[in-house]
Structure 1
């Protein structure tokens, strides 16, 4: 038996000899002193020769040590800083992706509003010149309300549309219908503001505008809110602070080998993931909610077309206003009588102004069709959203793989070489690295998520619920049949991109051709180029200035500039 075991015993001795040498050798502290000086000026804390290390709290090993207690404390602070900087580096690309796109989409939507505002003002000047500048405030405030709504204000779509037509009707009655304008009491003006509802002055078009905006704006609003919340989630991750147990475990992983004079000690494969699982236990619990967030954003981006396309709705809003005013003109006699009866008790002094004679319509609008330009759908907001979602889906498992990402920065131990198991250098293939860590290293254990992580999870749950709601089936709208046309003098179809003046609505086609206005002119579709914007991270937080949005001159609604 001894003869058979001789060669095997020799081989075993040959394998174990390097570890005996590693354990028995006296550490050389000169290189440790030099590297420590880079962390802390001065040499007074770094021993020139090995010491007992009895006063060390974490890096306690058999034999002599190159570390003092002060060095260990400094190393622990460095371990914390390394963890924080690694977290920031690991999430920097994701944060930049969301921040840049949040800024781009907010800026782009403001541009859509500017186009919609200018199109509406241009239409009013061209087709209803009798209104003069009486509609500037109404139109400007409508688009201002839409802008605020997209940024999360409490204003409701129904309220903003009702307020718009309430501001629009006094000018419509006094200047367009010939009801007269001039000096009037506040009571009379207030009566006019509400008279359009009682008289059905604008037919079913206010309801149509409410429906269109209520279907398209919540999607844009939720999309922008979700991006801002994504930034908050990543920001919180970047600023996680390692706790005491985590800091000690990181010290053992990264810097304790120096106390043994080991300038290069690659960790064993199982060591770093084991420690990171404890350090990032709370953040790792964000993963299922983060994955649902990415999937929800993708579903919303895909659903933001047709009725949920805010760009399309804004660029066609002027057509709804046009048909609402034409409906009022077609009911001129009825409206004059009804408003007079409704507001007759209001004390007023009305000076008759030059107004179109009864039965005479405003000048026919210019039917010149501008020359269309080539249209590339990939250059629209929808195309940009697709690009963003494709990039974001690359981070779908970001929180689940965050520990692996942080550990990938470590220098791996090559096959057959030695690796650091948290206590000593050992053979990489021995399989004992992970067990040693489990047995001898009090690495941070899984705990309940920190309060800030719990808050982030709650916010993700909330936004995920909103994403599910806004991507649900669209409920069809069917207004009360015929009431909008009561007393109408004419019912005609106009060439408004397929819109109809008829107030009769069908549940399937949603007011017949009204819902099928057709796309806005191709040359008006907003184009988004990757290099068109260079927004700062704060761009998406900027609020438009009221004076510039609601009180500018006709057709000159300019975005505020930072």
Structure 2
């Protein structure tokens, strides 16, 4: 029984069979498979025909016509592009989940800090109650900056302290003395030179800017990464790849070898060739992921994100109290610069004799609750671990695709190698366009990269640089830079 069986197995590998053999090689399985893919049976052979007409599959006995070959080639392309988009959507969903998680955490921190204003600043009396809008506007500006507003954070904070000086100074003057708008503007301008609040504004500004620049850059990095994945996942496969995919996926069906899976190395070469441009994202992609992991780690570096945001009200209280204690000196210097508006009265800010418990907290002394510390630690750990999982995505896509369609390790001697059922001998190519120069399966012009993907590589590079500069605490400060378009301006170089 073995000899006839062997002869039958070999019959599909030799020249077109004679009439008797052709009758034995029915195309019933191919016809069933073909209709299962949604095609009609019009023009589909009943038995094998000569394959000289084939342009993508190996020529030889076949159940596929030229029309069938073209339709199956289109199908293999659509299916592969669908798998690439599906993988991309999964990665996008992961980025969206990370964005939601961090955004929820950060906005809750921001909101909790804003809600603590009344508790911390109420001992200031009228200086709090009469200036609630000033304090509220500061939090609104910080929120808008985090959300992507083009406002200059350095100028915003400087303006806050100038207006706080103006209003605090006005409260220290007798109520029967009228201060003009020009005079109050002069007072406000003394904030930088007189340092009426001590070093608190400068220290708080540095920490708040760093916290908000890194937080904003981080969420923008997450959003841009998801957009890169979406755009790259939609890049159509090349015509060379269409032919290679047909040979890989559906030519075995045309040869009567439907049950034979492609050799894994053969599949790797096809997918590495088809996704060569996508693999070129890898260096900048890994660079961006590594930078985002560093930024995430910086959130828990002292002073942590929690400390910076939660201590804002206490720092404002400290600053006003400092001014109150030094008001006579400040007032004298203001008079010297802006002139005396009238005899100074006895009115003074309604401050307590001694600071309460809440006002004794400083940015350096403030410690979040153990629960808050644990939540920040878990947030950073979760962000970092999930980002690491995405790090090699672009060079893992070919392997992920082949894991679904190629033969396993034990079947490498009896797999589809593009020609027949046998071992695949060529070596596996490296990743990226430059490494495909000798790819035996996909013919590529390595001097003509895909421009859509090149643009996304540039976006990754720009975003990485912004994140690194945010990590270094650098930001745009000039008026020209502050007016940069929202697409390019992220608050840091």
In the superposition, the TM-score normalised over structure 1's length comes to 0.70
The answer to which of 138-147 and 78-87 deviates more is: 138-147
Which range moves more in the overlay, 30-39 or 156-165? 30-39
State the shift of 1:363 in Å.
6.0
Match of 1:444 in 2: 443
Unaligned runs of 5+ in 1: 1-10, 475-562
Q: 2: CA distance between counterparts of 1:49 and 1:169?
A: 93
The answer as to 2:318 corresponding to 1:323 is: yes
C-alpha spacing 1:452/1:358, structure 2 compared with 1 (3 Å): closer
Cα shift readout 1:320-352 (whole Å, capped 9, x = no counterpart): 111110122112234445445655599xxx9x9
2:415 alignment partner, SS class: strand
Q: Deviations over 1:167-197 (max 9, x none)?
A: 323332233x245499875434534433434
Q: Deviations over 1:408-449 (max 9, x none)?
A: 11141654863211122x233xx54779xx999652336243
Residue matched to 1:454 = 454
**Separation in 2 of the partners of 1:248 and 1:53?**
16
1:116 paired to 2:116: no
Aligned to 1:47: 45
Task: Note closer, same or farther for the CA distance 1:361–1:259 as it changes in structure 2 (3 Å cut).
Answer: closer
Matched, 1:129 2:125: yes
**Would the aligned equivalents of 2:232 and 2:452 in 1 still touch at CA under 8 Å?**
no
| Structure 1 position 144 matched with structure 2 position 140 | yes
Counterpart residue number, 1:399 = 394
2:196 touches 2:323 (CA, 8 Å); kept in 1? yes
Q: Does the CA-based 8 Å contact 1:151-1:224 persist in structure 2?
A: no
- 1:141 positional shift: 2.4
After TM superposition, list the pairs within 5 Å mapping 1:262-281 onto structure 2: 262-281=257-276
For residue 32 of structure 1, what is the aligned residue in structure 2? 30
Structure-2 separation of matches of 1:22 and 1:433: 23
TM-aligned CA deviation for residue 301 of structure 1? 2.4
Show CA shifts across 1:227-270 (max 9, x none): 22221232234223211111111111101222223332311232
Alpha-carbon distance in structure 1 between the residues aligned to 2:352 and 2:376: 36
1:263-297 CA distance string (max 9 Å, x none)? 32311232101111111111112222222223222
Number of residue pairs matched? 448
How far is the alpha carbon of 1:116 from its aligned partner? 1.6
CA contact (8 A) 1:417 1:427 kept: yes
Closer/same/farther in 2, CA of residues 419 and 434 from structure 1, 3 Å limit: farther
Paired with 1:421 and 1:251, the residues of 2 have a C-alpha distance of 13
Aligned equivalent of 2:158, options 154, 159, 162: 162
Structure 1 residues 198 and 280: CA distance shift in structure 2, 3 A: same
Q: Which residue of 2 aligns with 1:548?
A: none
Whole-Å separation in 1 of the counterparts to 2:303 and 2:68: 61
Match of 1:483? none
Deviation at 1:162, TM superposition (A): 0.6
CA deviation after TM superposition for structure 1 residue 317, in Å:
1.1
2:374 and 2:184 map into 1 onto residues whose CA distance is: 46
Does structure 1 residue 21 correspond to structure 2 residue 18?
no
Matched residues in 2 for 1:325 and 1:251: separation? 74
Give distance in 2, aligned partners of 1:248 and 1:51.
Answer: 21
Distance 2:125 2:180 in 1: 25
Cα deviation code 1:172-223 (max 9, x no counterpart): 2233x24549987543453443343454332222212222223333332332
Distance 2:217 2:438 in 1: 49
- Aligned 1:528-547 pairs, distance under 5 A: none
Partner of 2:480: none
1:451 Cα deviation after fit = 1.3
Aligned 8 A contact 1:217 1:308 in 2: no
Consecutive aligned runs of 4 or more in structure 1 exceeding 6 Å deviation: 13-16, 181-184, 438-441
- The secondary structure found in structure 1 opposite 2:104 is helix
1:483-498 aligned at under 5 Å gives the runs none
Could you tell which deviates more after superposition, 238-247 or 379-388? Answer: 379-388
In structure 2, the partner of 1:559 is none
Distance change (3 Å), C-alpha of 1:340 and 1:462? same
Q: Summarize deviations over 1:25-50 as a string: whole Å, max 9, x none.
A: 64422222222223335322433444
Q: Is residue 206 from structure 1 mapped to residue 201 from structure 2 by the alignment?
A: yes
Distance 1:276 1:446, change over 3 A: farther
Identify the structure with the greater helix proportion: 2
- Equivalent runs, 1:338-487 vs 2, <5 Å: 338-339=333-334, 342-343=337-338, 357=347, 361-362=351-352, 364=354, 366-367=356-357, 375-376=370-371, 379-412=374-407, 414-415=410-411, 418-424=414-420, 426-428=421-423, 431-432=424-425, 443-445=442-444, 447=446, 448-471=448-471
CA distance in 2, matches of 1:457, 1:67: 41
Q: 1:32–1:289: structure 2 CA closer, same or farther, 3 Å change rule?
A: same
Is 1:219–1:308's contact at 8 Å kept on the other side of the alignment?
Answer: no
| Deviations 1:101-149 (CA, angstroms, capped at 9, x unpaired) | 112112221111111222234322x211112543223222222222233
For residues 333 and 382 of structure 1, the distance between their equivalents in structure 2, rounded to whole angstroms, comes to 46
Q: 1:358 to 1:253 in 2, by over 3 A?
A: closer
